[in-house]
Amino acid sequence: MRLRSTASGHQLYKRMLGEVDPKAKPGDIVAIYDRFDAPYGIALYNPRSLIALRLLTRGVGAFDPEAFFNERIATAVTFRRKILDLDSRSDAYRLVHDHGDGLPGLVVDRYGDCIALEFYSLGMFKQAARIERALKLQFPQARFFHRASPHTQEMEGFRVDPNKGTGTRVKENGVTFIVDPSTGYKTGFFTDQRENRAALLQFTKGKKVLDVCSYTGGFGLYAKKLGGAEEVTAVELDPDAGAILKMNANANQVRIDAVTADAFPYLRQAAMNSKRYGVIILDPYKLIANQEGYALGRQKYIDLNRLGMVVLEPGGILVTCSCSGMLSWDEFTQFVRTAAGSAGRRVQIFRKSGAGPDHPFTADHPEGEYLKVLWCRVL
């Protein structure tokens, strides 16, 4: 397969394709050459996708897929276990983070003995059995779950059959979470916020804490069980996630006021009722998924932060998050600045953070730095 043009990154788009071998099938591992017939690399091929080639390696030598996946996954696991020493803090963490671990189109999360594979490409989906064999070498007792969003399945041209199974309990810094990788959003529990949940604890003692878009209660549970919060209210629109949140509270023997509601009207009503909180966490789903949704997503980020600031007591702490990969740090900071002006509040930003170190990103794929967290004191 030959390229018409190349790029600095590991994603090659349809427009870059030149001569295509007619024997190449969607999802195949293929050798690619540049327009001068020089070896370029080994890639996953899918002519149906906008990203036609996902580069696995540079150069075109002898390529053994089994050895490749064994090596890449072993390297990823060693980083989490030996270098980051995550097993000492949790049995739930990300094992493979897409481009960050040299496996584009694949995310793997560990939850105790459950391992969830989320596929973003047809090529990786077709390698599922090989990936599982490689993971079995590291986790012999693992049970596997397959995930892919409906959008990905439609765009890439594959179908993941639901594999229902029993969930499990995991512990993160002493906090228990019930996780079922066969249901819920993404792979079922967000390990990317681990360090941010722990960092929250210094601000919550004796405070009224509001966890907005709480999902299954990560921040709120930390605040109540470990952070000495006076009271915690967790607001989540998804009733299934809210049900797990209540189970998590019971599992940790803490009391949390779990509210099933949309964040925007809930915060407006709280402002009308003159409610005030000492600490507020805003952790919405991806509000900007593509360029077409930018304007609406921008307004939602601004409105959500404005509403949060209105119900914060003077000197209160706002932890505001964005998981929109295409949104830059500067843009997110500007949204918060605009929200502060609209709310008539003075905001000190004293810290920036992102996903935990088990979510690495590469220099040529900055979208991998998707999670942005601003820590603010609202005066």
Distances (CA, A) of 367 to 54, 152, 325, 334, 345: 15, 17, 5, 19, 31
Domain at 190-378, CATH homologous superfamily: Vaccinia Virus protein VP39 (3.40.50.150)
Nearest to 77 by CA among 108, 113, 104: 108
Please report which helix (H) or strand (E) contains residue 295, including its range: helix 294-310
**Residues pairing with 94 in the sheet:** 109
* Cα 264 to Cα 304: distance, rounded to the nearest angstrom: 7
Count H helices and E strands in the chain, helices first. 10, 17
**Residues pairing with 93 in the sheet:** 110
Q: What is the pLDDT along the chain (379 residues), one digit of tens a residue?
A: 888 888 777 888 888 888 888 899 999 999 999 888 899 999 999 999 989 999 999 988 889 999 999 999 999 999 999 999 999 999 999 999 999 999 999 999 999 999 999 999 999 999 999 999 999 999 999 999 999 999 999 999 999 987 767 778 999 999 999 998 887 665 568 999 999 999 999 999 999 999 999 999 999 999 999 999 999 999 999 998 999 999 999 999 999 999 999 999 999 999 999 999 999 999 999 999 889 999 999 999 999 999 999 999 999 999 999 999 889 999 999 999 999 999 999 999 999 999 999 999 998 888 889 999 999 999 9
Domain parsing of the chain, residue ranges: 11-58, 65-156, 190-378
The token pair that represents 298 in the structure block: 């921008």
Nearest to 304 by CA among 253, 356, 268, 261: 268
CB 218 within 8 A of CB 187: no
On the 0-12 / 13-18 / 19+ scale of CB atoms within 10 A, 268 is middle
Q: What is the DSSP string of 11-75?
A: EEEGGGB----TT--TT-EEEEE-TTS-EEEEEEE-TTSSEEEEEEEES-S---HHHHHHHHHHH
* Cα 236 to Cα 263: distance, rounded to the nearest angstrom: 7
Architecture of domain 65-156: 2-Layer Sandwich (3.30)
Distances (CA, A) of 326 to 293, 323, 364, 368: 11, 9, 14, 9
